[in-house]
Amino acid sequence: MTIDRLGMVKVRHLQTIHSLGSYRNACRVVRQLIPYTNQVYQEKEKVIYLNKKGRDLVGSENEVNGISMLKHYTLRNEVYLHFNQPIDWKNEYTLETTVEPQRNVDIVIQGIKPASKRKVVADACFTRNGYVNIIEIDNTRDMADNRKKVQNYAEILPLVRKNLPGSPLLLFFTTTENRKQKLSTWLSEKGLPHKVMTYAEIN
């Protein structure tokens, strides 16, 4: 179900995804879902997400926690629509690997070599034209945290590349030209294949 898969959706998103015709008709459809959804507003636009009854109906365990993520969800939906609704789109995509330490007798404990896990959670991911498109949604995240995430990608992508179904391409979406420039610079410095766009460029 679209609402469950995307987490939170504007009426306008459902209107586009399901070809519901007029906005008025889309609102009529959404009214029929009232028993199964919670509704909030973002800049005068209605946004809905599944309540417990709705999750039980579709057999979902994906509970939306916190309206503080509202903007994040709706921005991610804009990117989903920008790419024409990829069929293999996955939200909160985890890249994870186990790193074996270098041989060192000093760190062998009872014959077991300690290993560490490295993990990065992308906001979304989909494949197209031989690329694994890794999506990052930047809104109000501190730029220091953005730089740290770029560093995390630089460390983990060489380790997981062989297990991916295509070449990784980082796609960052952000709010301003200034943030775009900084992200582009950091990604280039790390030699990561990427593209950075503002939301204004895709709307």
pLDDT (0 to 100) of residue 84? 96
Is the pLDDT assigned to residue 98 strictly greater than 60?
Answer: yes
What's the mean pLDDT in 129-149? 95
| Structure tokens that stand for 164 in this block | 């991916």
| 146: confidence class by pLDDT, cuts 50, 70, 90 | very high
Is the pLDDT assigned to residue 158 strictly greater than 80?
Answer: yes
Does residue 105 or residue 203 have the better pLDDT? 203
**CA–CA separation, 24 vs 198, rounded Å?**
30
Q: Looking at domain 2-65, which CATH architecture does it have?
A: Orthogonal Bundle (1.10)
CA distance readout (Å), 79 to 165, 166, 171, 186: 21, 20, 10, 22
Region for residue 114 given its phi and psi (left: phi exceeds 0; alpha: psi -120 to 50; beta: otherwise): beta
Is the pLDDT assigned to residue 95 strictly greater than 70?
Answer: yes
Q: What is the pLDDT of residues 16-52, one digit of tens each?
A: 999 999 999 999 999 999 999 999 999 889 999 999 9
Domain ranges of the chain: 2-65, 90-202
Is the pLDDT assigned to residue 119 strictly greater than 80?
Answer: yes
Is the pLDDT assigned to residue 203 strictly greater than 90?
Answer: no
Q: Looking at domain 90-202, which CATH architecture does it have?
A: 3-Layer(aba) Sandwich (3.40)
**CA–CA separation, 52 vs 92, rounded Å?**
21
What's the mean pLDDT in 49-71? 90
Residue 49, classified by CB atoms within 10 Å of its CB into exposed (0-12), middle (13-18) or buried (19+), is buried
